[in-house]
Amino acid sequence: MEPRRKLISPILVSLFGATVGGALWHSDAMAQVPPGRLLASQCSQCHGTDGRGPGFAEIAGKNKYGDLRDMAHRRVEGVMDRQARGYTDEQLRLLSEYLATTPESGGGN
Closer residue to ligand HEC in complex, CB, 19/88:
88
Binding site for ligand HEC (CB under 6 A): 42-43, 45-47, 56-57, 59, 64, 67-68, 79-80, 83, 95
DSSP one-letter string for 38-58: HHHHTTHHHH-GGG-SSSSS-
CB of 47 to ligand HEC, least distance (A): 5
Closer residue to ligand HEC in complex, CB, 56/104:
56
Residues 6+ apart with CB under 8 A from 87: 39, 68, 72, 95
